[in-house]
Amino acid sequence: MQEIELLQEKLRELAQANLDHERAKAEVEVAENKLHALPEYQELGEVSEKAQGVRDTIAALRTEINDLTLNTYKATGEKKPAEGVGVRVGTVYLYDPDQAKSYCLGELPEALKLDSRTFEKYVKGVQEVKPLDFVTTEEKITPTIASDLSDYLELELSADQPIS
């Protein structure tokens, strides 16, 4: 019986915390509205826009420099055409994924990765007609908490009352 009483007390505490959270969100909204009206906040918005413009310029320049570096490499073979830029040459393997899978099934099974989600869906679908002898089940118990715990509040407080 003590566990149930403790559980109910914790539910009351959670209900109060939820109510406090809703009030805090309302207070934050009021404060944000006041903040947005300040000239300094307006100035911050303008400065932030300028900073975003500079970031966009940097991204465009990086793309252009990468393109120029690659074009120079292709034309001259020079891996370091200017100070601060360079080209790395690596190897990329191109293959048909279905052929690679077929090969791995016979020759390299350790390269194959199990898709657990798909496998468990399959097991669930066949467990009644063709159970797999290497698969067992166990009950998974997950506690849940209702989103509305207002029944646990001692008294109804007004929405504009400050957080305690």
Contact yes or no for 15/152 (Cβ under 8 A): yes
Mean per-residue pLDDT, 14-30 = 96
What stretch of H or E contains 61? helix 39-76
Gap between the Cα atoms of 144 and 137, Å rounded: 22
Q: Output b/e per residue, 100-126; b: 16+ Cβ within 10 A.
A: eeeeeeeeeeeeeeeeeeeeeeeeeee
Residue 35 in contact with residue 45, Cβ under 8 Å? no
Average pLDDT over all residues of the chain: 92
pLDDT digits (tens, 9 = 90+) for 36-70: 999 999 999 999 999 999 999 999 999 999 999 99
| Confidence at 154, pLDDT banded by 50, 70, 90 | confident
Q: What is the mean pLDDT of residues 114-143?
A: 92
Q: Using pLDDT thresholds of 50, 70 and 90, give the confidence band for residue 11.
A: very high
Mean pLDDT over 119-146 rounds to 92
Is residue 42 within 8 Å of residue 49, measured between CB atoms? Answer: no
What is the percentage of the chain residues whose pLDDT exceeds 70? 93
Place of tokens 């998974």: 140
Tens of pLDDT, residues 79-106: 999 999 999 999 999 999 999 999 999 9
Residue 159 above 90 pLDDT? no
Predicted local confidence at residue 157, as pLDDT: 52
Q: Determine the pLDDT at residue 14.
A: 95
Q: Tell me which amino acid residue 14 is.
A: L
pLDDT of residue 156: 52
For residues 127 and 49, give the distance between their C-alpha atoms in angstroms, rounded to a whole number. 58
Supply φ then ψ for residue 6, to 5 degrees.
-65, -40
